[in-house]
Structure 1
Amino acid sequence: MKTKLVIAIVALFTLLNVYSQNDLNNYKYVIVPNKFDFLKQENQYRLNELAQFLFNKHGFKAVMEGTDYPEDLLFNRCLGLRSNVEKESGVFKTKLKVVLKDCNGKIVYTSPVGESRTKEYKVAYNEAMRATFDHLRLLNYQYVPKKEHQVTKTQKHETDSEIQRLKEEIKTLKKEKEVKQIKQPKAVVNKRPVTPQKQEVLQAKNVEPKTEKALSNVLYAQATENGFQLVDSAPKVVFRIQKTGLSNVFLVEGKSSIIYKTDTGWVLEYYENGVLKQQELNIKF
C-alpha cells in the first residue's frame, strides 16, 4: 500500500513538473525586479543580480526591470514573465521561493522552497536563493513560442506603416496651416478704442492652440494581449491602446490618434476638424 502511495506521489510531481515546463517554455524572457518585497533596498545583498544570473544560467533570458528591453519584448510584453522571490516564515530557517507571473498577473510557476539554516542574512539568502533556483534547472527550459506570441514581419510592417502614415498626415496639416498663415492678410489697425470683450476675441484669433491640461482623473494601465486598456477610478475603460515598434508610443484603437511619452508625461495627439490637438494624460503603469 505504501509503495503504491509513493509511486502515485512521484507520478503526480512528474506530471506537475512536465506541465510547468511546457507552460514556461512558451515565454521568451524573464523580467527581474530591482527590489524584492521582503527586502528594504534595491538589489540588497545583490540578490536581484544573483536572480538574473541564475535565470540566465538555467537557460532563461533574464532582463533587469527598467533597462533597455529587446525590441520584440517592447513590442509584445506578453513574451516575458515577471519574476519575484518571496520569503516564507521560518523560525530557524530562511525559506525562499520563485514565483513567475504572465503579463496579466496570472501565476505560471511557483518553485519549491529553498532553505538555509545559516544565521547571517547575507549568506542565508544567497544559499536559499540558489537552492530554490535548482528546481528551475530540473525543468530543462527551452523557449517554444506560442502562436499568439509570434509577431509576423507583416504585422510589424503594418504597424510601422500606420505610424508613418500618421506622421506624414501631421506634417501635411502643419504645412497647410503655415501656408494659410502666410497668405492671410495683415490685420488692419483699428484706431478706435477696443473694449475688453473685443480684445479677448482678437487675442483668441491670433493665439496658437495649446496643449490641453491633463485629465484630473488618473488612468490606470491594465495589460492586454497587444497593449493596455486605460481605466479610470469608476472603473471605466477610457482608451484601448496597442503597442508599436517604438518605445513608449501607442496606437489608440478606433481613433486616428497616438499616445506617446515626453519628458514631462504622457500625451494624446489627434486631429479635430483639421486642427492638431494634444492632451496631457495622467497614466499610471
Structure 2
Amino acid sequence: MNTKFFSIVLTCFIATTVFAQSNINNYKYVIVPNKFDFLKEDNQYQINALTEFLFNKYGFEALMEGSDYPEDLSQNRCLALISDVIEDSGMLKTKLKVELKDCNNKLVFTSSMGESREKEFSTAFNLALRDAFKSIEALNYKYEPSINSIGTASQPQVKTEATEEIQQLKKEIQVLKQEKQAEVAVVEQAKPEVPKVVVKEVIPVAQKQDNQVAVIEGVSNVLYAQAIDNGFQLVDSSPKVVYRIKNSNLKDVYLVEGKSAIIYKKGDDWVVEYYSGDTLVQEALNIKF
C-alpha cells in the first residue's frame, strides 16, 4: 500500500515538474525587482543581485527592474516573468521561496522552500535563496517560443489592428480638417470684405498629383530622441523640444502629441505626415535614436 502511494506521489511530482518546465520555457526573460517586500532597502544583503545572478546561472535571461529592456520586451511585456522572493522564517530557520508570475500577475511557478540555520541575516538569506534555486535548476530551463502561451499567434491580428488604427487616425485628421475649414468659412462670411495681401514662403516640394501628397525633402537638422513615458521627445541642438511622440501598436509608427500627425519609418528615413489644406504632406526628418 505504501509503495503504491509513493508511486502515485512520485508520478504527480514528475508530471507537475514537466508541466512547469514546458510552461516556463515559453518565457524569454525574468524581471527581478530592485527590492523584495521582506527587505527594508533596495538590494539589501545583495539578495536582489544574487537572485539575478542565479537566474542567469541556470539559463534564464534576467533583467533588473527599470533597466534598459530589449526591444522585443518593450513591445511585449508578456515575454517576461516577474520574480519575487517570499520569506517564511521561523525561530530557528530562515526560509525563502521563489515565485514567478506572468504579465497578468498569474502565478506560474513556485520553488521549493530554501532553508538555513545561520544566525547572521546576510549569510542566512544567501544560503536559503541558493537552496530554493535548486528546484529552479532542476527545471533545466531553455527558451522555447510558444504561440499558445504568450499570445504570439495574435501578432498578425495586432498588426492588422494597428494598421486599422492608423487608417482611422487619418480619417479623423480629415474630419478635423473639414471642420476647421467650415469654421473658417463661417468667420470669413461674418467679416467685411477688405483687400488682403497673402505672402507665401516658397518651399521646393516634389508634388504627386494623383494622391495630392507633398513630400518636403532636404531636411538636414538633426533631432535627437530622448525616452519619455510611452514614447520619446525629439529635441534639436538648442536643445528645444520639437515633437513629443507616443508609441503605437505598429513598429516604427508614432503618434505626435498635440498634433494631427504621425511619424513613421519609410525605408531608411523617418517621415512626419499631416494634412496642409487639401494636401497630405510627408516631411522627411533626420532623427537619431
Check whether TM > 0.5.
yes
Instruction: Give the residue type in structure 2 aligned to 1:119.
Output: K
Query: Any stretches of 5+ residues in structure 2 without a counterpart?
Result: 193-247, 255-289
Instruction: Give the residue type in structure 1 aligned to 2:181.
Output: V
Aligned to 1:185: 188
Query: Any stretches of 5+ residues in structure 1 without a counterpart?
Result: 190-242, 250-285
1:48-67 equivalent positions in 2, closer than 5 A: 48-67=48-67
Instruction: Give the residue type in structure 2 aligned to 1:23.
Output: N
Aligned to 1:155: 157
Aligned to 1:110: 110
Give the Å deviation of 1:188: 5.8
Aligned to 2:177: 175
Contact 1:71–1:245 (8 Å) recurs in 2: no
* Percent of aligned positions that are identical: 45
Q: Which has the higher contact order (CA 8 A, sep 6+)?
A: 1
**Aligned partners of 2:92, 2:47: CA distance in 1, in Å?**
21
Change (3 A) 1:180 1:94: same
1:36-51 equivalent positions in 2, closer than 5 A: 36-51=36-51
Contact 1:80–1:103 (8 Å) recurs in 2: yes
Contact 1:75–1:245 (8 Å) recurs in 2: no
Change (3 A) 1:49 1:171: farther
Change (3 A) 1:88 1:245: farther
Aligned to 2:32: 32
Give the Å deviation of 1:96: 0.6
1:1-285 equivalent positions in 2, closer than 5 A: 9-148=9-148, 149-151=151-153, 154-183=156-185, 184-185=187-188, 187=190, 244-245=249-250
Aligned to 1:237: none
Q: Secondary structure at the match of 1:115?
A: strand
**Aligned partners of 1:246, 1:90: CA distance in 2, in Å?**
51
Contact 1:36–1:84 (8 Å) recurs in 2: yes
Across the aligned residues of Structure 1 and Structure 2, the Cα RMSD in angstroms comes to 3.3
- Matched pairs, number: 196
**Aligned partners of 2:121, 2:112: CA distance in 1, in Å?**
20
**Aligned partners of 1:70, 1:173: CA distance in 2, in Å?**
38
Change (3 A) 1:169 1:138: same
TM-score (norm. length: structure 1): 0.57
Change (3 A) 1:69 1:174: farther
Change (3 A) 1:59 1:91: same
Give the Å deviation of 1:86: 0.3
Q: Secondary structure at the match of 1:134?
A: helix
Give the Å deviation of 1:79: 3.0
**Aligned partners of 1:65, 1:54: CA distance in 2, in Å?**
16
Contact 2:89–2:96 (8 Å) recurs in 1: no
